[in-house]
Amino acid sequence: MNKYEPVIGLEVHVELQTASKIFCHSSTTFGGDPNHHVCPVCLGLPGTLPVLNRKVVEAAIMIGLALNCSVARFCKFDRKHYFYPDLPKNYQISQYDLPIADNGYLEVQDEDGNPVRVGITRVHMEEDAGKLVHQGTDATTPYSLVDYNRTGVPLLEIVSEPDMRSPREARAYLDKLKTIIQYTGVSDCRMEEGSLRCDANISVRLRGSQTLGTKTEIKNMNSFRALQKAVQFEINRQIECLETGRRIVQETRAWDEIEGVTLATRSKEEAHDYRYFPEPDLVPIVISPSWIEEITRQLPELPDARCRRFIDEYRIPAYDAGVLTGSRELGDYYEECVKIYPQAKTVSNWVMGELLRLLNDTNSEIGESRVTPRQLAEMLTLIDKGTISGKLAKEVFGEMFRTGKDAEMVVKEKGLEQISDEVSINAVIEQVIASHPGPVADYRAGKDRALGFLVGQIMKDTRGKANPGLVNELLKNRLR
């Protein structure tokens, strides 16, 4: 299907981790009893007035800066009108023609590892809507339940340019966006809790064409995997449409995770007449250069810059640096460990290898690791001192991961200290030689491979605890 080129743009909604909602003092805490975190303002009761949470503006400026946008000197809120029970006021307070930030970009890697710049059209602030629960079917439950706890939780909507050309690129963009936002700390970006939500605009065109094809909007993708699969499905569907001479209809389609297809949603043409007008209940926002400077100073080192620094400062491969800076916490963990145990590549191997593997196996995150960076550093020191062998170290680390105990304690409790005294090793060597005359004769006859067998037997008899280097050396001397 190389004849066609997919064109993909993403609209991402991010819930900000403020304590209170965007326009009132109700809590933003996720979950809880239905309709508990509400007040007259977020319920849209008559006579109430919204007042903007300053922290939301600061978070929006920070994200604008992190995404290389220009931050508006002047912006305002607008009302977006539509009737839906998740919206108690019958309008959503959003930003229309003067968003807080626009014209930015972020960088991802294409299939060949080359950097691709994805433009950010705009970033704007708005309030989240409530949650509708539909149980059963139209026939069994002819009603929906409404919970307004989420109503008024601050959102940033981040709209990309149609700059992505494959499902993989779309996923890479969302991944990068999530990482950048998590670094700034303004949102936890949990897709499963809905604090990061993503819609995709997709069209296809003949390769080389400069005009855009008719697009569809895909909703309801609840994971990174779903995004990639849904985008791929929709591209294939559109290409098949064109190949069989049918027309692509501009419409909203929902991703059906179970069936693995996108389906047209019931929608009326009128539904998109939002009748925006300036929100008269909120005054404009003027952002001074000094305010922007203040927030620029608070901006943490971002993933790309940190990745470059890891390569320069720790001399680790670009791949390692990319993985380690994939989350702020993982990068912090790595750096703390290297501070104590400065062999950067060794630390990288252990963090990317054993630690990430065990975290993955237990479905937990780096912040939940019971092994602290100091404990990992201490274990690595034990390997260097010869107290434990590199091979047994994995067993020690596994135990540390399960129990949170220090390496030294695990080694003692499990009796895993490496045997490095020659007398003990020689004793085992004598036993092994006595019980394996065949291989001994083979080795003496010049078959070097027989030595490996004998070393293996010695390691087995010492339950892997004998210092392998020493075993090799002593055995060779003994058989000379």
**What does the binding site for other proteins look like in residue numbers (CB under 8 A)?**
18-20, 24-27, 33-40, 43, 51-55, 57, 74, 76, 81, 83-85, 98, 132-134, 138, 141-148, 266, 270, 273, 275, 278, 280, 282-286
Is residue 218 classed as helix, strand or coil in its secondary structure? strand
Task: Give 134 or 190: the residue with its C-beta nearer to other proteins.
Answer: 134
Q: What is the largest CA-CA distance in the chain?
A: 100
Q: How far is CA 80 from CA 72, 77, 92, 200, 418, in A?
A: 20, 10, 5, 21, 70
Task: Give 125 or 316: the residue with its C-beta nearer to other proteins.
Answer: 125
For the CB of residue 379, give the shortest distance to other proteins in the complex, in Å: 42
Task: Give 15 or 399: the residue with its C-beta nearer to other proteins.
Answer: 15
Q: How far is CA 396 from CA 351, 367, 379, 391, 410, in A?
A: 15, 20, 8, 9, 6
For the CB of residue 162, give the shortest distance to other proteins in the complex, in Å: 29
Task: Give 282 or 299: the residue with its C-beta nearer to other proteins.
Answer: 282
Query: For residue 10, is it left (φ>0), alpha (ψ between -120 and 50) or beta?
Result: beta
Q: How far is CA 67 from CA 107, 168, 287, 329, in A?
A: 10, 20, 17, 20
CB 396 within 8 A of CB 411: yes
For the CB of residue 39, give the shortest distance to other proteins in the complex, in Å: 5
Q: How far apart are CA 133 and CA 309, in angstroms?
A: 47
For the CB of residue 180, give the shortest distance to other proteins in the complex, in Å: 22
For the CB of residue 53, give the shortest distance to other proteins in the complex, in Å: 5
Single out the residue of 17, 386, 461, 3 nearest to residue 213, CA to CA: 3
For the CB of residue 278, give the shortest distance to other proteins in the complex, in Å: 6
The residue count of the chain comes to 480
Order the strands of the 101-109 sheet from edge to edge.
70-71, 101-109, 115-127, 154-160, 4-15, 196-206, 216-221, 252-256, 261-264
Task: Give 149 or 238: the residue with its C-beta nearer to other proteins.
Answer: 149
Task: Give 82 or 224: the residue with its C-beta nearer to other proteins.
Answer: 82
Q: What is the CA radius of gyration of the chain?
A: 30
Task: Give 97 or 192: the residue with its C-beta nearer to other proteins.
Answer: 97
Task: Give 28 or 179: the residue with its C-beta nearer to other proteins.
Answer: 28
For the CB of residue 132, give the shortest distance to other proteins in the complex, in Å: 7
Query: Residue 411 is inside which H or E element, if any?
Result: helix 407-414
For the CB of residue 273, give the shortest distance to other proteins in the complex, in Å: 6
